[in-house]
Amino acid sequence: MILAIESSCDDTSIAVMEIQNKKLLFHKKISQETEHSLYGGVVPELASRLHAEALPKILEQTKEFFPKLKAVAVTNAPGLSVTLQEGVMMAKALSISLNIPLIGVNHLIGHIYSLFIEKEEIKPLTVLLVSGGHTKILNFNGIDSVCEIATTMDDSFGESFDKAAKMLGLGYPGGPVIENLAKKGSDIVPLPLPLKNSPEIAFSYSGLKNAVRLVIEGKKYKSEDIAASFQTKAIEHLIFMCKRAIKKYHPSNFAIVGGASANLKLREEFEKLARKFGFKLFYPEMKYTSDNAAMIARAAVEMYKRNMFTDYKDIKIIPRVRFEKCESLKKREEKN
Ligand code: KG4
Ligand code: ZN
């Protein structure tokens, strides 16, 4: 069995997974949304303190599995350094005291594995990752083969919902609040479609965010109409860029992962795209869309099989990560 710890942002989670058949034996998560909602976003120091309180409480419940653990996995990148630190410290202590190897898991790859909890991998797979910290199109061909097709130039998709909600005086996280409010409104507010005239495959949400700010200041439109129009444009931008990527890479399997993959309007629009282009569309189960340790455990199972261990003395906390661009990976492979 592998025990996995996730503390990269505002969810404290621990999971235990069987290595052989990928069965999830234990999974608990404590969210800090209520605590952060007062501030309209995650406060790193507060998040870190709450992880320090919650981690031992959850770990206590996993003691029965300790004798059977073959490895301990932990998210060590990317995320808030002060919160990653909490999980990594606990994982190091477990690695030393139980004398088992340590596996450092990339949280973004973890999100891809949220698709495969208690399931086999699907590959090759093109993945749209939409979370609070990231908006990326990735190509996945196994745990050690992930490259980047596109990323955001500024804010992420989820973050833009959080910021729009904050400007409208709604709570945190903004995603579900905006999605619900949008149901009552109409798409009547003129907002710009980001990067419409750029030839690149890339994302940008800061212009749209500023446009929303100006509309709110103008006091001409109702909140529900602003929410509906903002959501429409934010999704339209995703579709616009994913269409470009689909035309270029012709994926037969496409998935949407990350906290914002819970958005039903987004799913609806991508289902239309899937019918049009004839690819198979995948999402994680709703309970695994947001941050959780089950996805970290599932990724760690593949890393365990490939001996992808990190010595507890060398494990690093990496707040920001970069993936190799798919274009340069292709060139490198052709050269070899
Ligand atoms: O993956 P996640 O739980 O944490 C990160 O790794 O960032 O994603 C959280 C993000 C937040 O920005 C939240 O507002 C957004 O996902 N989100 C949504 C929805 N549910 C959560 N965004 C749009 N629509 C939703 N229904
Ligand atoms: Zn995440």
Which residues are CB-neighbours of 228 under 8 A, at least 6 positions away?
Answer: 181, 182, 183, 184, 185, 186, 187, 188, 189
Q: How confident is the model at residue 202 (pLDDT cuts 50, 70, 90)?
A: very high
Q: What is the pLDDT of residue 331?
A: 86
pLDDT the model gives residue 333: 83
DSSP state of 193: P
pLDDT at 106: 98
* Spacing, Cα 42 to ligand 1 middle (Å): 12
User: Whole-angstrom Cα distance, residue 240 to residue 128?
Assistant: 13
Does the C-beta of 251 come closer than 6 Å to ligand 1?
A: no
**Which residue puts its alpha carbon closest to atom 10 of ligand 1?**
132
pLDDT above 90: residue 266: yes
Q: What confidence score (pLDDT) does residue 223 get? A: 98
115-138 as b/e, with b when 16 or more CB fall inside 10 Å?
A: bbbeeebeeebbbbbbbbbbbbbb
CA nearest 74: which of 310, 275, 236, 237? 310
Q: pLDDT band at residue 335, thresholds of 50, 70 and 90?
A: confident
125-283: CATH class: alpha beta
Closest atom of ligand 1 to CA, residue 159: 12
Tell me the pLDDT tens digit for each residue of 138-189.
999 999 999 999 999 999 999 999 999 999 999 889 999 999 999 999 999 9
Cα separation, 12 vs 32, in Å, equals 8
H/E segment holding residue 259: none
Is residue 72 within 8 A of residue 2, CB to CB? The reply is yes
Say if residue 21's pLDDT is above 90. yes
Decide whether any atom of ligand 1 lies within 6 Å of the 10 Cβ: no
> What backbone phi and psi angles, to 5 degrees, belong to 42?
-80, 125
> What is the C-alpha to C-alpha distance for residues 216 and 223, in angstroms, rounded to an integer?
8
191 pLDDT tier (thresholds 50, 70, 90): very high
- Of the bound ligands, which one is closest to the alpha carbon of residue 286? 1
Structure tokens at 128: 């749209």
Percent of the chain with pLDDT over 90: 95
Query: Which ligand is closest in space to the CA of residue 183?
Result: 1
Q: Which of 64-68, 209-213, 300-304, 325-329 has the lowest mean pLDDT?
A: 325-329
* pLDDT at position 121 over 90: yes
Ligand 1 atom index nearest CA of 174: 14
Least confident of 76-85, 92-101, 115-124, 326-335: 326-335
40 lines ligand 1 (CB under 6 A): no
175 lines ligand 1 (CB under 6 A): yes
Q: How many CB atoms are located within 10 Å of the residue 213 CB?
A: 13
Residue nearest to atom 14 of ligand 1 (CA): 175
% residues pLDDT > 70 (the chain): 100
Tell me the CA–centroid distance for residue 333 and ligand 2, in Å. 30
Query: Average pLDDT in the 97-105 region?
Result: 98
41 lines ligand 1 (CB under 6 A): no
Distance of alpha carbon 204 from its chain centroid, rounded? 17
For residues 83 and 71, what is the distance between their CA atoms, to the nearest angstrom?
21
**Measured distance CA(14)–CA(159) in Å, rounded:** 25
Query: What's the rounded mean pLDDT across residues 59-73?
Result: 98
What is the pLDDT, as a whole number, of residue 38? Answer: 86
Residue-by-residue DSSP string for 83-147: HHHHHHHHHHHHHHHHT--EEEEEHHHHHHHGGGTTS----SEEEEEE-SS-EEEEEESSTT-EE
| Residues β-bridged to residue 30 | 12
Ligand positioned closest to the Cα atom of 295: 2
In three state form, how does the secondary structure of 273-336 look?
HHHHHCCEEECCCHHHCCCCHHHHHHHHHHHHHCCCCECCCCCCCCCCCCCCEHHHHHHHHHHC
Average pLDDT in the 294-311 region?
98
pTM summary value: 0.97
In tens, the pLDDT along 233-255 reads: 999 999 999 999 999 999 999 99
Q: Angle formed by the axes of helices 223-249 and 174-182, to 10°?
A: 110
Mean of per-residue pLDDT scores for the chain = 97
Top-level CATH class of 2-116+288-323?
alpha beta
Give the pLDDT of residue 189. Answer: 98
Centre of ligand 2 from the C-alpha of residue 330, in Å:
27
Considering every ligand atom shown, identify the ligand nearest to the alpha carbon of residue 230 and give its number: 1
* Mutational pocket test of ligand 1: of 113, 166, 263, 266, the residue with most ligand atoms within 8 Å of the beta carbon: 263
pLDDT given for residue 328 in this prediction: 87
Six-digit token string for 153: 């130039």
Are 36 and 10 in contact, with CB atoms under 8 Å apart? yes
Do the domains 2-116+288-323 and 125-283 sit in the same CATH topology, yes or no?
A: yes
Q: Which residues pair with 48 in a beta bridge?
A: none
Task: Domain ranges for the chain, please list them.
Answer: 2-116+288-323, 125-283
